[in-house]
Each structure stands twice: as C-alpha cells, then as structure tokens.
Amino acid sequence: MNTPEEFTAEKIKKVSIIISKGSLEGIYPGLIMANGARAEGMDANLFFTFFGLDAVHRNRIDHIKVATVGNPAMHIPTLMGALPGMSALATHMMSKKMEELDIPPIHEFVEMIADTGAGLYACKASVDMFGLTSDDFVPQVKDIITVGDFYDLAAGGQIIFT
C-alpha cells in the first residue's frame, strides 16, 4: 500500500487539454479540468480538434447537446436515444442540473477560462478539413495551430485527452 509520502512527487505546473468531442459530456470535462488547473495556479492550454471545435465555434457554442445515440452512460437502448427529442430532453435535464450546481454555460465557461490566462487554440488540420477560418471562432481562441505547435506549447507539462 502506498503511503502519503510516496505521493509527494513534484506538482504538475502545466496541463494541455485536448477536446475532440462536440457534445456536452465531451466538452465540459476539459473545461472543468482547465478551470481547476488555473485555480491551482497551473498553466493551462486547451486544444480544440475535430468536433470539439464546436465548443469555440461562434455559431455552435450555444447549441451543444448531449449525445444520446451510442452513449452507454445514458443507460438507454441506442434506438431509444435516436428518437426525436431525446437529445433535446437529455440536454435540458443536464443543463438544469448544471445550473443548480452553478456550472456556467459553455460560452461563459470559455470566457472565464480565457480571462484566467489559459490559452485556447483551434487545430489547424481540423479547421482546414471543415473549411473554417479564424472568423468562425469566438474571440477567446488565441490562434489556429498545428499539432507540432501544440506539442511545443505542451512541452514540460502533462497532456490530457478528454
């Protein structure tokens, strides 16, 4: 059994978090982790790739939904998750619960995290693949960068893939 002394390794000083999913349950974990890192005094970078770009897309940021199809954590049959209105219902229920817990909507969370000094970046390959430009993103996105640029930003820290 490990003793507390064995867990006194050097503290994490920097995290770089990759958000690749465009659903509420795919975006919030990364935002919460980045917010927690900043609250603990760590440097934090968020790298939005593939459908995670929706979290910082100016026209989609306020329309993120819970994924009900193929989501085993929903504990409903896939066919039921595909019924019209199921995603909207699950999103409404989750949004109400988050509101009760004082968890801000995604656009407020993104603003708050950026205001703490965290870096928010869009993946160049995904941006190019979806035919997007910097004008498609909220102003908190610092830049559109390559994976190599992301690794340079992450150097010396921990990378977390959500």
- Going from the C-alpha of 122 to that of each of 19, 95, 142, the distances in angstroms are 10, 25, 8
Token pair, residue 118, equals 């965290």
Rounded CA gap, 89 and 35, in Å?
A: 27
Q: Which residue has the higher pLDDT, 69 or 132?
A: 132
- Count up the domains in the chain and report the number: 1
Residue 87 lies in a domain: no
Q: What is the average per-residue pLDDT within 125-152? A: 98
Give the CATH number for residue 44.
Answer: 3.40.1260.10
Instruction: Give residue 128's pLDDT.
Output: 98
pTM to 2 decimals? 0.86
What's the pLDDT score for residue 31?
97
Q: What is the pLDDT of residues 72-113, one digit of tens each?
A: 676 776 666 676 777 787 888 888 888 999 999 999 999 999
Instruction: Write the CA distances from 79 to 20, 23, 72, 83, integer angstroms.
Output: 25, 19, 12, 7
Please indicate, yes or no, if residue 117 is contained in any of the structural domains.
Answer: yes
Provide the Cα torsion 136, 147, 17, 15; round to 10°. Answer: -130
Is 126 domain-assigned? yes
Residue 46: which pLDDT band, with cuts at 50, 70 and 90?
very high
